[in-house]
Amino acid sequence: MRGIQNRLRLLSIFVFLFALLLVVRLYFVQIVSGEDYKARAEQQYIAGVNYFDRGSIYFTSREGVEVPAGSTKTGFILHINPNILGKNIDLESVYEKINNITPIEKEVLLAKAHKQSDPYEELARRLPLEEAEKIKALKISGLSVAKERWRAYPGETTAAHIIGLMGYSGDEFAGRYGLERFYEPVLSRSGDGVFVNFFAEIFSNIKKAVSDEESLEGNIVTTIEPSVEAFLESELEKVTEKYSSDFTGGIIIDPKTGEIYAMALTPTFNPNTPQSVGNPDVFRNKLVEDRYEMGSIIKALTMAIGLDSSAVTAKTTYNDAGCLTLNKKTFCNYDGKSHGSNLSMQTVLNNSLNTGAAFVVSRVGSTKFSNSMLSFGLDTTTGIDLPNEGKSLVSNLRSGRDLEAAQASFGQGIALTPINTVRALSALANGGTLITPHLVKEVRYKLGPTKQINYPTEEERVRVLKPETSVEISRMLTEVVDRSLSYGRVRLDQYSIAAKTGTAQIAKSGGYYDDRYLHSFFGYFPSYEPEFLVFLFTYYPKNVRFASETLTESFMDITKFLINYYDIPPDRELPPPTAL
C-alpha cells in the first residue's frame, strides 16, 4: 500500500512539474514573445520576405523618461505575382489605382508585370498601414502586401556616432558601429523559425533564464540625455561651419560617476540612410578610436602632479626666459617671448606658458613626473562600452629624457584619445580617482531580470591624486576662468567654473605644420562639487590661431544651458550691488 502511495506521489510531482513547465512555456510564447511569433507567422509564407527582430536602444531624459533611439519598425511591402497580374490587359488602370495610393513609377510596374517567369516582384517597401489597407481593398489579382520589419532610428542624426548602425559584412546583417556593435550579443535575436521542437525550447528558455553563461537577448538603456545631446550637436555644428574645421567633437560627462550625457561629432550621418554617405570614414567615432596631441589642457594634469608631490604650490615662482633647451632641442612659449621673472604657477596656468609647465617637471623630476602622468591611465584604454577604442601613444613618457617629459607637460609628443583625456581630466574634478566612462546603465533581458550595470564606486576606483590636490587645482583653474579666459569677461557671478584651453600644432612626418592646429577646451562646474565636465575639440579650424577664440563661446553656451536645464543651484554669492 505504501509503495503505491509513493508512486502516486512521484507521479503527482511529475504531473505538477510538467504542468508548471507548460505554464512557463505558454507565458513565454503568449506574453514575452507573443508579438514576435505573430510577426513571424504572418511572414513565413511570403516569398522573398525575411523576418527581422532586434532589441531596442533607449535614451534617458532628465525626468527619467525612456526615449527610443534604436527600434524595430513595422510596415508593408507592396509586391506582385507577374504570372497573374501580367495577364491583366488593363495595366494602365492598375497603375492609376496604385499610384493614387502610393507613388510608383509606371515603367517599373510594366517591366516587372511582364516578367511572367517570376512569381514575385516588389514595387515598394515600408508602406504605412493606411496605404497597405487601401491597396488590399482594391482586390486586384496578383497584387499583394506583406508585413516587413526593419531597424529604425527616430532621432535620425542624433547621437549617430554613439548608436552606430546596421550593415552587412558578407551575408551577415548586424551592428557595425557604436552601441549596435558593442552590444550585438544583447540586441541581436536568434531568428529561429516559428516551428521548433516544443520541449526542446522549454528547456532552452529555462536554461537561458537561469544561466549567466548564456547570451541573453534584451534591450539597453543609455545615459544619453536627448536634449543635452541635441544642444551639444548644435554647438559643434556652429564651430565647424564658422571656422571650416575638418571636424569637431565633444563629450559631456559626470566626472564623479563616468555617466556620459552627450557625445557627438560633426560631420555626422543618418543611420537610417547610411548608403547616402560618400566617405565611410564619417562612421568612425574619433572621440574613442583616434588619438591627438591635445596641447595645453594637459598643463592642468602637469600642475596637479606638481601640487600633489609638493614640488610646487600656486605661489611658487620661476624666471621665464621664453624658450628652453633640453637634450639639444629648444622649445618656446606659444608666442616665443619671455613673460618676465618671478612668475607664479597660477600665472603659468593663466597665461598657458610652456616653460612654466617644464619648470614643474624639473621640480618633480622627469622620471617621477612621467610615472605620475602614466598613473592617470594614459597608457591604457578606458573600458568605455563602444567598439574599437584606441590606445594613446605615450612612449615618450618612457624615454627617460628630460626633453620628452618637458614636452609632454604641455601636451606635445604624446597623442591621447579624447575619451582617455576626459577620464584623466575627470580625476581633477572628482577628488582624484579614475572613473570608467560609460553609455549604458541598464540591460533589460527578455527572459530574465533587468541588470543594472555597476561601475566602480569612488572607494573602489584607482586614486591618482589626493583629495586636497583636487580642491587646489580646481581653485587654480577657476582663477583661469575668472581672470584670464577672455580677460575674465565670461566669468559667472553665481557659479564657479574651472577650465583650460589648449592649442596644439598638428603633427606631420618629421615635425609639425606651422599653420594647422587642433584646438581643445575642457571645463567643469560647479568647481568644487562638479555636476558636469565638458570637453570640446576642433581639428584644423581655418584662419584662427587659438582655442580661446574658437571654443570659449560654445563652452560657455553649453555651461549656461546645463545650469538652467538641470536647475543647478548657485555655489557662490552675487557681488555687492554697484552704488548709484
Q: What is the pLDDT averaged over residues 319-343?
A: 95
Can you give 153-194 as a three-state secondary structure string?
CCCCCCCHHHHCCEEEECCEEEECCHHHHHCHHHHECCCCCC
**Residue 33 pLDDT > 70:** no
Q: Which residue has the higher pLDDT, 282 or 32?
A: 282
User: Quick one: what percent of the chain has pLDDT higher than 90?
Assistant: 75
Confidence of residue 1 (pLDDT cuts 50, 70, 90): low
pLDDT digits (tens, 9 = 90+) for 95-115: 999 999 999 999 998 899 888
pLDDT band at 452 (very low <50, low <70, confident <90, very high): confident
Cα 63 to chain center, whole Å? Answer: 20
- pLDDT surpassing 80 at residue 6: no
What's the CATH number of domain 34-221, 3.40.50.1370, 3.20.20.140, 3.30.1330.10, 3.90.1310.10? 3.90.1310.10
The DSSP-derived string for 197-253 is -HHHHHHHHHHHHH-TTS---EEEEE---HHHHHHHHHHHHHHHHHHT-SEEEEEEE
Helix (H) or strand (E) segment spanning residue 429: helix 418-429
Better-scored residue on pLDDT, 312 or 141: 312
Predicted local confidence at residue 245, as pLDDT: 98
Q: Is residue 12 very low, low, confident or very high in pLDDT (cuts 50, 70, 90)?
A: low
Task: Give the whole-angstrom CA distance, residue 497 versus residue 486.
Answer: 14
Position 195 scores a pLDDT of: 38
pLDDT at 450 (0 to 100): 81
Q: Is the distance from CB of 297 to CB of 521 less than 8 angstroms?
A: yes
- Hey, what's the cell of 469? 590636490
Res. 510 pLDDT band, cuts 50 70 90: confident
**232 or 169, greater pLDDT:** 232
Confidence bin at 168 (pLDDT 50/70/90): confident
Nine cell digits for residue 231: 544642444
Q: Is the pLDDT of residue 219 over 70?
A: yes
Q: 311-328: per-residue pLDDT in tens?
A: 999 999 999 999 999 999
| Helical H segments across 453-508, by residue range | 467-479
Distance between CA 383 and CA 260 in Å, rounded? 13
List alpha helices for 269-417, DSSP H. Answer: 286-289, 299-308, 345-351, 354-364, 366-373, 402-409
> Does residue 509 have a pLDDT over 60?
yes
C-alpha cell recorded at residue 360: 614643474
pTM listed for this prediction: 0.86
Indicate the pLDDT class of residue 573, thresholds 50, 70 and 90.
confident
Q: Is the pLDDT of residue 39 over 50?
A: no
Over the stretch 460-504, which tens digit does the pLDDT of each residue have? 999 999 999 999 999 999 999 999 999 999 999 999 999 999 999
Q: For residues 443 and 452, give the distance between their C-alpha atoms in angstroms, rounded to a whole number.
A: 7
Distance CA 256, CA 173 (A): 38
332's CB contacts (< 8 A; 6+ apart) are 322, 323, 324, 354, 355
CATH superfamily of 242-267+286-438+462-565: DD-peptidase/beta-lactamase superfamily (3.40.710.10)
Region of poorest pLDDT, from 15-24, 76-85, 96-105: 15-24
Looking at residue 198, what is its pLDDT? Answer: 42
pLDDT at 209: 44
**Does residue 172 carry a pLDDT above 60?**
yes
Confidence of residue 544 (pLDDT cuts 50, 70, 90): very high
Q: Which residue has the higher pLDDT, 289 or 46?
A: 289
Q: What is the model's pLDDT at position 325?
A: 96
Helix axes 366-373, 402-409, angle to 10 degrees: 50
Break the chain into its structural domains and give their ranges: 34-221, 242-267+286-438+462-565
Cell numbers of 193, please?
A: 523559425
Q: What is the DSSP string of 110-170?
A: HHHHT-TT-S-EEEEEEE-HHHHHHHHHH--TTEEEEEEEEEE-TTTTTTHHHH--EEEET
Look at residues 526, 455, 528, 448 and name the one whose alpha carbon lies nearest to residue 494.
526
222: closest CA among 184, 179, 167, 253?
Answer: 179
Question: What is the per-residue pLDDT for 23?
Answer: 57
Residue 213, pLDDT score: 41
Q: Average of pLDDT values for 229-238?
A: 98
- Number of other residues whose CB lies within 10 A of the CB of residue 483: 12
Q: Which residue has the higher pLDDT, 509 or 327?
A: 327
Q: Round the average pLDDT of the chain to a whole number and report it.
A: 89
